[in-house]
Amino acid sequence: MSSPEDLTGPRQPLYQARKSVYPKAVDGFFRRLKWVIMAVTLAIYYITPWIRWDRGAYAPNQAVLVDLANRRFYMFQIEIWPHEFYYVVGLLVMAGIGLFLVTSAVGRAWCGYSCPQTVWTDLFQHVERFIDGDRNAQKRLETAPWGAEKIAKRFSKWAIWLFIAFWTGGAWIIYFADAPTLVRDFWSGNAAPVAYATVGILTATTFVFGGFMREQVCIYMCPWPRIQTAMMDEKSLLVTYKDWRGEQRGSLKAAQANPSAFGDCIDCYQCVAVCPTGIDIREGPQIGCITCALCIDACDKVMAQIGKPRGLIDYCTLDDTEIEKKGGTGTPVLKTLFRPRTIIYLAIWTSIGLAMLFTLGQRTRLDLAVQHDRNPVYVQLSDGSIRNNYTLKIRNMQARPRIVDIYIEGLPGAVVWTADGDRAFARQNVNFTVDPDAVHKVRLFIAAPEDGPARTEFTISARARTGDERGDSDTLIFERPEED
Partner 1 sequence: MAENKRIDAPTGTQTVGHEWDGIEELDTPMPRWWVFTFWACILWGLGYIVLFPAIPMLNGATPGLWNWSSRGQLEQELKAETARRAPITNALAAIPVEQLAGNEKLYQAAIEGGRAAFKVHCVQCHGSGAAGSKGYPNLNDDDWLWGGDLPAIHYTLTNGIRQPDHEATRFSQMPAFGGVLANGEIDAVAAYVQTLSGKAKPSALSASGAALFANNCASCHGTDGKGLREFGAPNLTDGIWLYGGDVASIKTTITKARYGVMPRWDNRLDPVTIKMLAAYVHSLGGGEANAAPVPAAVPDPEKVAANVQP
Please give the residue ranges that form the binding site for partner 1 (CB under 8 A): 1, 3-5, 7-9, 11-18, 213, 216, 220, 373-376, 379-385, 387, 389, 419-420, 422-423, 445, 450, 484
Q: Which is nearer to partner 1, 32 or 423 (CB)?
A: 423
Q: Are 52 and 62 in contact (CB under 8 A)?
A: yes
Among 415, 407, 416, 412, which residue's Cα sits nearest to residue 471?
A: 407
Shortest Å, Cβ 11 to partner 1: 7
Q: Which is nearer to partner 1, 362 or 382 (CB)?
A: 382
Shortest Å, Cβ 417 to partner 1: 10
Shortest Å, Cβ 390 to partner 1: 12
Shortest Å, Cβ 416 to partner 1: 13
Shortest Å, Cβ 5 to partner 1: 8
Q: Which is nearer to partner 1, 6 or 469 (CB)?
A: 6
Q: Which is nearer to partner 1, 54 or 383 (CB)?
A: 383
Q: Which is nearer to partner 1, 14 or 57 (CB)?
A: 14
Query: Phi/psi zone of residue 133: left (φ > 0), alpha (ψ -120 to 50 degrees), beta?
Result: left
Shortest Å, Cβ 219 to partner 1: 8
Shortest Å, Cβ 413 to partner 1: 15
Beta bridge partners of 75: 64, 78
Q: Which residues lie closer than 8 Å to 294 by C-beta, 6 or more apart?
A: 23, 26, 28, 30, 31, 34, 274, 275, 276
Shortest Å, Cβ 360 to partner 1: 34
Q: How far is CA 481 from CA 146, 304, 317, 379, 459, in A?
A: 90, 93, 75, 9, 20
Beta bridge partners of 457: 477
Q: Which is nearer to partner 1, 342 or 385 (CB)?
A: 385
Element containing residue 447 per DSSP (H, E): strand 438-448
Element containing residue 34 per DSSP (H, E): helix 29-47
Q: Which is nearer to partner 1, 55 or 214 (CB)?
A: 214
Q: Are 169 and 198 in contact (CB under 8 A)?
A: yes
The sheet with strand 78-80 has its strands ordered as 64-67, 72-75, 78-80
Shortest Å, Cβ 252 to partner 1: 27
Q: Which is nearer to partner 1, 221 or 343 (CB)?
A: 221
Distance CA(153)–CA(126), nearest Å, equals 14
Distance CA(102)–CA(99), nearest Å, equals 5
Q: Which is nearer to partner 1, 302 or 448 (CB)?
A: 448
Element containing residue 143 per DSSP (H, E): helix 135-143
* Torsions phi, psi for 80 (to 5 deg): -115, 130
Shortest Å, Cβ 251 to partner 1: 24
Q: Are 429 and 418 in contact (CB under 8 A)?
A: no
Q: Which is nearer to partner 1, 309 or 376 (CB)?
A: 376
Q: What is the DSSP letter of 108?
A: S
Helix locations, 275-421, DSSP H: 294-305, 318-325, 333-337, 340-362
